[in-house]
Amino acid sequence: MILGAVLAGGTSSRFGSDKAMAEIDGHTLLALAVDALSGWCEHVVVVGRPTAPAPTLPDWPREGMGPLGGLAAALHHAVDEGYEAVLSCGVDSAQLPEELLRVLGPAPACLAAQPVIGLWPASSLPAIEALLHSQDRHSMYRFAELIGARRIETEQPVGNINTPGDLEAIAKGRS
């Protein structure tokens, strides 16, 4: 079983407002991310927000740890609930490839250009805990390296929305 995790705990500093609530075609980025993962996963959670269109979890071990804190919370939930893996994406990841789960399988693997989009074995929980408690670099790339995750190149780049201009460009591309 695979747990979907939308990592949504960022501050949206480059966006200028809460980008999770920004809309494309009348749907929030948060809802679009939850819907996308729902197609591949038995259950989806949103990490790093108190309210969402899916059950929520706080970052682990605390907020402000970046995407790793969100993924750590999802891996804790996966272990506690008996999931084999976590499929993660950021709230700002637009237009995930239809074949994403096939491309990433088997775990561990992540997209080379956006490592927040990945398939992570629940058994990697001790590695992420150790990284978050260490003085080592707290990055998704470092975590992927530590657990031997494959970095997958995709033919089409996955849109990443960091600014209102990014949102506008992706929205135009969907029209």
> Domains in the chain, please, with CATH?
2-174 (3.90.550.10)
pLDDT digits (tens, 9 = 90+) for 50-70: 999 999 999 999 998 899 999
Count the Cβ atoms, other than its own, within 10 Å of residue 79: 16
Q: How far is CA 74 from CA 28, 71, 155, 166, 171, in A?
A: 22, 5, 28, 27, 29
- The pLDDT assigned to 30 comes to 95
Provide the residue-wise pLDDT of the chain in tens; the chain has 175 residues.
999 999 998 767 777 778 889 899 999 999 999 999 999 999 999 999 999 999 999 999 999 889 999 999 999 999 999 999 999 999 998 679 889 999 999 999 999 999 999 999 999 999 999 999 999 999 999 999 999 999 999 887 787 888 888 888 888 776 5
**Residue reference for tokens 């990945």:** 118
Dihedral over Cα of 34, 111, 8, 55: its sign? positive
CA distance 7 to 46: 6
- The pLDDT assigned to 174 comes to 64
Residues 6 or more apart from 147 whose CB is under 8 A from it? 108, 120, 121, 124, 127
- The pLDDT assigned to 162 comes to 82
**Residue reference for tokens 């749907």:** 27
